[in-house]
Chains A and B, each alone.
Chain A
Amino acid sequence: MSVRMILICLACLIGAPAWPQGFAGLGEQADGFAVPARGRALDFPTDHGAHPEYRIEWWYVTANLRGADGRDYGIQWTLFRSALAPVATDGWDSPQIWMGHAAITTPEAHFVAERFARDGVGQAGAIADPYQVWIDDWAMAGADVSDVALRARGDEFSYDLRLSADGPLVAHGDAGYSVKSASGQASYYYSQPFYEVAGTLNLPDGPVAVRGQAWLDREWSSQPLDPGQRGWDWVSLHFDDDARMMGFQLRQEDGDAYTSGTWISPDGGAAPMADGSVILTPLAETTVAGREVPIKWRVEVPARGVDVEITALNPNAWMDTLFAYWEGPVRITGTHNGTGYLEMTGY
């Protein structure tokens, strides 16, 4: 077992391969760490920064892009914070570890990079104001979260994008208190789903100018997932009528699932969708990295008249990182059309 495995294990109970939005932090005991509480209002800009008293936290950007060459692309930029103890100090003894994931997905290829960093020495961090979230030379930074530059680089790729929000932040669940299981485990969770994107992807074949839409997820928690929860399917969908939705299901050992979601109207109004309101049904599987992964889903929200199929742009969007999972752009067809992102863990 590598040291990195340990780093992450400390934060995220490897026994439960369930990583909501890509990380297993919710699968840990909460001893000594702060626990999300219903009714605590989100506080901006402070909450854009790090919450070291919570065990696990992430800044998660996904974007659906169209190149000047007419092709579809997807990018991912993620910074994870993982706490060994519920404090942060200035210096090497700060018990916090940072991990970055970046990816570009094209219809044929999927490029992945990851980074690790210590806290307390400036190699990585998250500052609310002026907004600055970084690990090494990867950064998401701007005067304000509504207008940021996003950069990352791997062995074979890099990207440099500008993200400008034309809508408000959206709080999920009960004003940002997002319940993850029937027994009440929860996290704080908000998004910025209204980013317009422009910039450049640098691929092995050369640079590509791109435009599109991006979605930022912010989530932090300390609480264990329910012991019976095996994995996680999550979607963020941009519909052509400017409505958006987030939906996820936590798959249980018994074959059942706990579902949740948020319907986001074009003006930014958010309506939480309770357990059972979103129905995710796998339609087709493919073998990626030796595992059977569903890369085509039926997504139904009967209350909103949504019945769509989402299909992976590239079925091989496997994040071959220390903790591997599937994350990639999807196309939407059916009652609504559009693009979105799909994440699947625990397969």
Chain B
Amino acid sequence: MMRAVFQALIGHWRRHLVQLISLLAGLALATALWTGVQAINAQARQSYDQAAGLVQQNQFDRLLATDGGTVDQARYIALRRAGWLVSPVVSEQVETPDGPIRVLGIDPVTAPMAAQPAQIQRDDFDLSAFFARGGVVFAAPDVAERAAARFPDLRVIEDAQVPPNTVLMDVGVAQGALNFGARLSYLIVLPDQPAGLLPLSDLAPDLRLRAGEQGTDIARLTDSFHLNLTAFGLLSFAVGLFIVHSSIGLAFEQRRTTFRTLRAIGVPLRTLFAVLVAEVLVLALIAGAVGVVLGYGIAATLLPDVAATLRGLYGASVGGVLALPPIWWLGGIAIAVLGTLVAAAQSLWRLARLPILAAAKPRAWGHAGPRAWVMPVGAAVGLAVVGAVALRVLPGIAGGFVLLGTGMIAAAILLPVVLAIALHLISGRARAPMAHWFWADTRQQLPGLSLALMALMLALAVNVGVGTMVSSFRQTFTGWLDQRLASELYITAPSAEAAEDLRAWMAARDDIDAALPIWSVEGMLNGAPGQVFGVADHATYRDNWPMLALAPDGWDRLAAGQGVLINEQIYRRDDLDLGELVSLPDGTQMSVLGVYSDYGNPLGQVMIGIDALTARFPNVERLRYALRVEGEQAATIRAAMLRDLEWPEDAVNNQAVVKRVSLQIFERTFQVTAALNILTLGVAAVAMFMSLLTLSSMRLPQVAPVWAVGTTRRDLARLEVLRSAILALFTMVYALPVGLGLAWGLLAVVNVAAFGWKLPMFLFPADWAWLAIWAVLAGVAAAAWPAWRMSRISPSDLLKVFANER
């Protein structure tokens, strides 16, 4: 009997092949989205680390030659033999016909792990080939060809893990390739040193220690982005669930007749139930498997770096390479199965309560009256209350996420109600009979379409929300770079004498617009550790510094030494206001003239006029400068400076390059996110398509009279497409505030809970316009085939409506 039941049920799919394919496609796409986002998340994390490493490569203390030149290798050995844990580095910019590339030579045996590129930590890495003369070197993809041409004797391997514009090699190979002899660029000083060593100043008077910089800024900023991407993953999956729910619901609905017949001829409910559950499971497994492969495909297509990750399948732990472990693959399928079961639960429950003799006609439409609105409005209010309570009760991020989740579901539930009201208002104003019918008919269809529209709404809202979040993050990050890197060149003189030479050198040139000192001292600010920076009175700061608040004449008074600017961290921590006093490391107090944002910095920071800084802290190190020059001149001036002053190449940074490369890295993640957004929309379009397809076959009784009074089939088909497009547009209009609410929740609630500071929210109306176009296109695409079928429907079928009593 089981078999007979199975065949009877399967028959449905044979007759509705398109529906089967759509269901599988919807489920597979939803799974693909989920798994794709997981992969992207992992990759994104890696991109930030790269960007962070690039912008702040001076994480470790370094020993540099006092005279600004290179370090004798014998000095390195002598320090090691005196017990100091140091590691040699050769770092040099080399010219190629297509621009400079950076050669970085390290010793993987003594370098601290954090300073080691990921690729040499892989278990298949051949260390002897890395050591050998003419050995293996790793080049960033953007410079691999140039590197191979520049170093024909070396085996250049392209590796996306290498920071952009860099060729990584063994320190000995680098010495050979650069004709360095037995010289080194600098030594990394490891953080933990044995006790009782002789001081460096005795052992190596010709070297000076440059303190490492704290590498926390970008890391914290990007942690926030990562968290938001995780939220995106969850939301994508929620969209997928809606789609699966609607597909399965439709399939059940359409087979009510079959169910009733089967039950009437004696099939026990339990058998029917078991067969249906089995059917759902099989569908979920197939679609889940396809989806996971698809997700991998998405990740691999969008991120070339993921290509090597199939290795993860075999359980090998691949350091530094994005690995998709078996749990990723199984997780994807499990999510598909679980999601399908959850989505099918309602249908199965209905089946269990199906009265054998009740009318088994599929319900093509329901009655959309105010009475039907009570439930969804009540549910939405309930969810809103749950979310608000969760935000207060649950700690940290969890509350924020619950609020977002309940908010989104509540918005989705309310969508049909809002649309019904809107359509009601519009149809009341319609004068022409055709228009009146159009709006009324649209309203009639709403219940059948509501699930698909909810999915579309969620997809659009997620799109708006995540798009806003990503763009706001990008804006913030760009601003963050601009703030710190407003000048064209950044110089760190190797020593006080070298700084004197630099000042003389700069004074003799006329192509340097300004040399802005970057001098700072560390100490206690209002009782907590922080930094005091001196700023010159220059437009660079006045124009670029991201001020949250500024007193009138703030910049003038700052230059006159009458106050300080403080960063957002102190401002929030100590609850300071303009005009209040902040205590400085020298024990004095100054009044607050303004507040600037300083994303990611865990420390308090204060800016005072440069003259005030040197007056209060006469011993401040005067080594660093930011140079304002003509943009095109930066590279030339940098080269001239390095040549004339005989400085190591890392003494001068061309920040246009650093900025460009950092942004490139982030751009890749952003593009991937955008692609995923489109995919989410695609999934929603599939759901709409399925709903319209199903409805179109049930709507003959509504359409036939309109045809009979003289409307052509072609016009009817056009109206179908128009209706779909209008509904999509309405949904978009509704989704916009929901999406902005989502973005606000991510940036201002979740982020604050997780990190204690807000990411500012920026609005991008042009993106919304595009999204609206996409939404309309999705609506048109979904309606196209059903409409085409309607335009080809045979008149006899339409006539049958009047002949048969349905």
Spell out A's residues near B (CB within 8 Å). Answer: 1-7, 9-10, 84-85, 91-95, 97, 113, 116-118, 121-123, 134, 136-137, 153-156, 158, 202
Q: Can you name 10 A-B pairs with beta carbons within 8 Å?
A: A1-B121, A3-B125, A5-B123, A92-B173, A97-B127, A118-B109, A136-B81, A136-B85, A153-B196, A154-B194
A123: contacting residue among B81, B121, B173, B319, CB under 8 A: B81
Q: Which residues of B contact A122 (CB under 8 A)?
A: 77, 81
* B131–A94 touching, CB < 8 Å: yes
Nearest CB to that of A116 among chain B residues? B109
Nearest CB to that of B316 among chain A residues? A1
What's the nearest-Cβ distance from chain B to residue A137, in Å?
4
Nearest CB to that of B170 among chain A residues? A92
Cα separation A273 to B490 with both chains bound (whole Å):
71
Cα separation A104 to B271 with both chains bound (whole Å):
73
* A123–B128 touching, CB < 8 Å: no
Q: Which residues of B contact A84 (CB under 8 A)?
A: 127-128, 131
Query: Given that A93-B131, A95-B131 are known contacts, is A2 also in contact with B121, CB under 8 Å in the complex?
Result: yes
Q: Which residues of B contact A85 (CB under 8 A)?
A: 128
B392: CB under 8 A from chain A?
A: no
Cα separation A9 to B126 with both chains bound (whole Å):
11
B127: contacting residue among A7, A92, A113, A136, CB under 8 A: A7
Cα separation A95 to B132 with both chains bound (whole Å):
8
* B110–A92 touching, CB < 8 Å: no
B745: CB under 8 A from chain A?
A: no
* A202–B131 touching, CB < 8 Å: no
A3: contacting residue among B81, B121, B135, B196, CB under 8 A: B121
* B80–A123 touching, CB < 8 Å: yes
Cα separation A136 to B82 with both chains bound (whole Å):
7
Q: Which residues of B contact A97 (CB under 8 A)?
A: 109, 127
Residue-wise, chain B 75-110 has the 8 Å CB interface mask toward A (1 for contact) of 001001111010000000000000000000001111
Query: Given that A116-B110, A117-B109, A118-B109 are known contacts, is A9 also in contact with B123, CB under 8 Å in the complex?
Result: yes
Query: Given that A121-B77, A123-B77 are known contacts, is A92 also in contact with B121, CB under 8 Å in the complex?
Result: no
Cα separation A284 to B50 with both chains bound (whole Å):
51
Q: Which residues of A contact B128 (CB under 8 A)?
A: 10, 84-85, 95
Nearest CB to that of A10 among chain B residues? B127
Nearest CB to that of A120 among chain B residues? B172
B468: CB under 8 A from chain A?
A: no
Q: Which residues of A contact B133 (CB under 8 A)?
A: 93
B417: CB under 8 A from chain A?
A: no
Most buried by A among B109, B128, B175, B192: B109
* B81–A137 touching, CB < 8 Å: yes
Residue-wise, chain B 109-150 has the 8 Å CB interface mask toward A (1 for contact) of 110010010001111010110011101000000000000000
B526: CB under 8 A from chain A?
A: no
B317: CB under 8 A from chain A?
A: yes
B116: contacting residue among A3, A92, A156, CB under 8 A: A3
B171: CB under 8 A from chain A?
A: yes
Q: Which residues of B contact A202 (CB under 8 A)?
A: 196
A137: contacting residue among B83, B116, B172, B317, CB under 8 A: B83
Cα separation A136 to B197 with both chains bound (whole Å):
12
Q: Which residues of B contact A5 (CB under 8 A)?
A: 123
* A1–B107 touching, CB < 8 Å: no
* B121–A91 touching, CB < 8 Å: no
* B194–A1 touching, CB < 8 Å: no
* B127–A93 touching, CB < 8 Å: no
Q: Which residues of B contact A134 (CB under 8 A)?
A: 81
Spell out B's residues near A (CB within 8 Å). Answer: 73, 77, 80-83, 85, 107-110, 113, 116, 120-123, 125, 127-128, 131-133, 135, 170-173, 175, 192, 194-196, 317, 319
* A1–B123 touching, CB < 8 Å: yes
Most buried by A among B80, B121, B196: B80
Q: Which residues of B contact A2 (CB under 8 A)?
A: 113, 121, 319
* A118–B77 touching, CB < 8 Å: no
* B171–A92 touching, CB < 8 Å: yes
Cα separation A184 to B132 with both chains bound (whole Å):
34
Q: Which residues of B contact A156 (CB under 8 A)?
A: 195
A155: contacting residue among B82, B127, B195, CB under 8 A: B195
Q: Which residues of B contact A118 (CB under 8 A)?
A: 107, 109-110, 131
CB-CB nearest 9 A-B residue pairs:
A92-B172, A84-B128, A137-B83, A122-B77, A95-B128, A3-B108, A1-B123, A153-B194, A136-B80
What's the nearest-Cβ distance from chain B to residue A237, in Å?
32
Q: Which residues of A contact B319 (CB under 8 A)?
A: 1-2
What's the nearest-Cβ distance from chain B to residue A2, in Å?
6
Q: Which residues of A contact B135 (CB under 8 A)?
A: 93
What's the nearest-Cβ distance from chain B to residue A257, in Å?
31
Cα separation A312 to B123 with both chains bound (whole Å):
36
Nearest CB to that of A92 among chain B residues? B172
Cα separation A255 to B133 with both chains bound (whole Å):
47
Q: Which residues of B contact A93 (CB under 8 A)?
A: 131-133, 135, 172-173
Sample of 20 more A-B contacts, CB < 8 Å, known A1-B122, A155-B195: A1-B317, A3-B125, A5-B123, A6-B121, A7-B108, A10-B127, A84-B127, A84-B128, A92-B131, A92-B175, A93-B131, A93-B133, A93-B173, A94-B131, A95-B131, A118-B109, A118-B131, A134-B81, A153-B83, A155-B194
Cα separation A134 to B82 with both chains bound (whole Å):
12
What's the nearest-Cβ distance from chain A to residue B171, in Å?
6
Q: Which residues of B contact A155 (CB under 8 A)?
A: 192, 194-195
What's the nearest-Cβ distance from chain B to residue A321, in Å?
15
Cα separation A4 to B120 with both chains bound (whole Å):
10
What's the nearest-Cβ distance from chain A to residue B549, in Å?
47
* A117–B123 touching, CB < 8 Å: no
Q: Which residues of A contact B73 (CB under 8 A)?
A: 121
Cα separation A141 to B251 with both chains bound (whole Å):
84
Most buried by B among A4, A9, A137: A137
Query: Given that A1-B122, A9-B123, A116-B109 are known contacts, is A136 also in contact with B83, CB under 8 Å in the complex?
Result: yes
Q: Which residues of A contact B121 (CB under 8 A)?
A: 1-3, 6
Cα separation A278 to B25 with both chains bound (whole Å):
70
What's the nearest-Cβ distance from chain B to residue A342, in Å?
27
Q: Which residues of B contact A6 (CB under 8 A)?
A: 120-123, 125, 127
Q: Which residues of A contact B317 (CB under 8 A)?
A: 1
Nearest CB to that of B193 among chain A residues? A155
Q: Which residues of B contact A91 (CB under 8 A)?
A: 172
* A137–B82 touching, CB < 8 Å: yes
What's the nearest-Cβ distance from chain A to residue B440, in Å?
68
Q: Which residues of B contact A113 (CB under 8 A)?
A: 194
Most buried by B among A3, A85, A95, A117: A3
What's the nearest-Cβ distance from chain B to residue A115, in Å?
8
Q: Which residues of A contact B116 (CB under 8 A)?
A: 3
Most buried by B among A2, A6, A9, A116: A6
Q: Which residues of B contact A121 (CB under 8 A)?
A: 73, 77
What's the nearest-Cβ distance from chain A to residue B161, in Å?
14
Cα separation A137 to B196 with both chains bound (whole Å):
12
Q: Which residues of A contact B80 (CB under 8 A)?
A: 117, 123, 136-137
Most buried by A among B135, B171, B195, B196: B195
What's the nearest-Cβ distance from chain B to residue A281, in Å?
38
Most buried by A among B108, B133, B194: B194
Cα separation A156 to B193 with both chains bound (whole Å):
10
Cα separation A85 to B82 with both chains bound (whole Å):
29
Q: Which residues of B contact A158 (CB under 8 A)?
A: 194-196
Cα separation A97 to B131 with both chains bound (whole Å):
11
What's the nearest-Cβ distance from chain B to residue A297, in Å?
34
A117: contacting residue among B110, B127, B172, B192, CB under 8 A: B110
What's the nearest-Cβ distance from chain B to residue A337, in Å?
37
Q: Which residues of B contact A9 (CB under 8 A)?
A: 123
Nearest CB to that of A113 among chain B residues? B194
Cα separation A6 to B82 with both chains bound (whole Å):
27
Most buried by A among B120, B132, B317: B132
Q: Which residues of B contact A7 (CB under 8 A)?
A: 108-109, 127
Cα separation A118 to B127 with both chains bound (whole Å):
11
Q: Which residues of A contact B195 (CB under 8 A)?
A: 153, 155-156, 158
